Structure 1
Amino acid sequence: MSDTPRVLFWRHGRTAWNVENRFQGQTDIELDPVGHAQAERAGRLLATMGPSLIVSSDLKRTADTAGYLSRACGLPVEFDKGLRERFGGSWEGLTGVELSARWPIEHARMDIPDGEHISEVGDRMSAAVDRALERTPAGGLLVVVSHGAALRVAIARMLGVPDEQREILGPLSNCSWTVLQRRRDQWRLMEHNAASLPEPVVLSDDA
């Protein structure tokens, strides 16, 4: 077994606000019935990967998503407020159409006038992942359950991508995941926006 750590970033299941394209931020929205079904299915799949540690945002949509994996693999969920979604201020609860109408320039840049700056999100997400990695055994799999915008900036940070270029990574669908693996002294992107178990790689790209 390799002693190289892996981190699996898992977005929560669907909510009613996802369907309505409303900015959720840190508003504590619950999963809808489809979201529960997504989380149950994904939890069973991810359990077969043998997680070593599960850490989650404490918001209900992520906590409930993480709970399905916890029950499937028998590991408890640890909660860290540093994994919450970006705080959206007055944008929370509004649809994309409403945001574009009221703040056309700011919405195009995702620059929330009274919300959390993306660099602050990256700082707290990186700190939370580092805390969890310190408790992940060698060769283990850390599962981080969080939110779309927060996860994208965290993944970009680990890959050395500047915050303002984070959108070169496509978005994560509800209940999909991204896997990073450390090799030598850097993190590598192994999967992105996945919803099925990976196929084994027979030869490495530098074999």
Structure 2
Amino acid sequence: MTAARVVVWRHGETAWNAEGRYQGQADVALNARGLTQAAAAAPRIAALGPDRIVSSDLGRASATAQQLARHTGLPIEFDPRLKEIDVGDWVGMTNAEVFAAHPDFAEALAAGRDARRSASGETGAQAGARVAEALLDIAEASPDGSTVVAVGHGFALRVAMVFLLGLDYAHNLTLGGLWNASWSVLQPGGERWRLLSYNNVADGV
């Protein structure tokens, strides 16, 4: 069995998104704007005819998924592998704070290299591989011809998509960051998927 389409949907905005803080796997809730974004996107995604909804188990993702569940009547399944990159003890810090404390990390990002997010966190490649594995498993466990919506987090989803397209980590810089509550559509194809649309958002949010 293999799904025909996998729709990856980033959660709506949180206060930490608005403030530019590293969230990682901290369970930060959607703010009012994030709820509005998710509610606006949900009918657009429902129009794609999803057969399953699978979400990260973090609250900002599950609250986003709940908006789609209201439109479709589908249950929400949870896969913890869809979590955002683990940033370890950088949780709550801004880019400026991280770059000031870790100039080597800033240099690596500027050069397009991967780097670990704090001594206790993950690398981008580790997070992307984890989420890509989850998306592969979700697609392969879904009925032939079905559409699955996977709700997750911006950075880890973007790197996972790059890997599923058969590209290496450095290519994640060729894709713009995923906007809050945006969705992208992929067509599974074994170990090399196709990207059908990217970073779609509902009008007016």
Under a length normalisation based on structure 1, what TM-score does the superposition of the two structures give? 0.88
**1:76 is matched with which residue?**
75
**1:130 is matched with which residue?**
136
Could you tell me whether the CA contact under 8 Å between 1:9 and 1:179 is conserved in 2? yes
User: How many percent identity over aligned positions?
Assistant: 42
What is the CA–CA distance in structure 1 between the aligned matches of 2:190 and 2:31, rounded to whole Å? 41
Deviation at 1:122, TM superposition (A): 2.4
Q: CA RMSD in A?
A: 1.9
Cα distance change on mapping 1:148 and 1:4 into 2, 3 Å: closer
Deviation at 1:183, TM superposition (A): 6.1
Q: Does 1:28 align with 2:48?
A: no
**1:145 is matched with which residue?**
151
Q: Which amino acid aligns with 2:92?
A: G
Give unpaired runs (5+ residues) of structure 2.
110-114
Could you tell me whether the CA contact under 8 Å between 1:106 and 1:113 is conserved in 2? no
What is the CA–CA distance in structure 1 between the aligned matches of 2:8 and 2:166, rounded to whole Å? 16
Deviation at 1:186, TM superposition (A): 3.9
Structure 1 stretch displaced more, 134-143 or 35-44? 134-143
Deviation at 1:98, TM superposition (A): 1.0
Q: Which amino acid aligns with 1:132?
A: I
Cα distance change on mapping 1:39 and 1:4 into 2, 3 Å: closer
Cα-to-partner distance string for 1:10-54 (whole Å, 9 max, x where unaligned): 000000000100000001000000000111111121111110111
Could you tell me whether the CA contact under 8 Å between 1:148 and 1:172 is conserved in 2? yes
Cα-to-partner distance string for 1:48-94 (whole Å, 9 max, x where unaligned): 11101111100000000001001111111100110000000121100
Could you tell me whether the CA contact under 8 Å between 2:3 and 2:143 is conserved in 1? no
Q: Does 1:162 align with 2:168?
A: yes
**2:53 is matched with which residue?**
54
SS at match of 1:78: strand
What is the CA–CA distance in structure 1 between the aligned matches of 2:107 and 2:148, rounded to whole Å? 33
Q: Does 1:179 align with 2:178?
A: no
Q: Does 1:9 align with 2:8?
A: yes
Q: How many residues align?
A: 195
Cα distance change on mapping 1:182 and 1:96 into 2, 3 Å: same
What is the CA–CA distance in structure 2 between the aligned matches of 1:26 and 1:54, rounded to whole Å? 20
Could you tell me whether the CA contact under 8 Å between 1:28 and 1:60 is conserved in 2? yes
Could you tell me whether the CA contact under 8 Å between 2:3 and 2:139 is conserved in 1? no
Deviation at 1:100, TM superposition (A): 1.7
Could you tell me whether the CA contact under 8 Å between 2:55 and 2:62 is conserved in 1? yes
Q: Which amino acid aligns with 1:96?
A: N
Could you tell me whether the CA contact under 8 Å between 1:55 and 1:144 is conserved in 2? yes
Could you tell me whether the CA contact under 8 Å between 2:84 and 2:152 is conserved in 1? yes
What is the CA–CA distance in structure 2 between the aligned matches of 1:32 and 1:132, rounded to whole Å? 29
Deviation at 1:118, TM superposition (A): 2.1
* Equivalent of 1:113 in 118, 127, 148: 118
Cα-to-partner distance string for 1:142-163 (whole Å, 9 max, x where unaligned): 1110001110111001101102
What is the CA–CA distance in structure 1 between the aligned matches of 2:118 and 2:191, rounded to whole Å? 37
**2:102 is matched with which residue?**
103
Could you tell me whether the CA contact under 8 Å between 1:38 and 1:175 is conserved in 2? yes
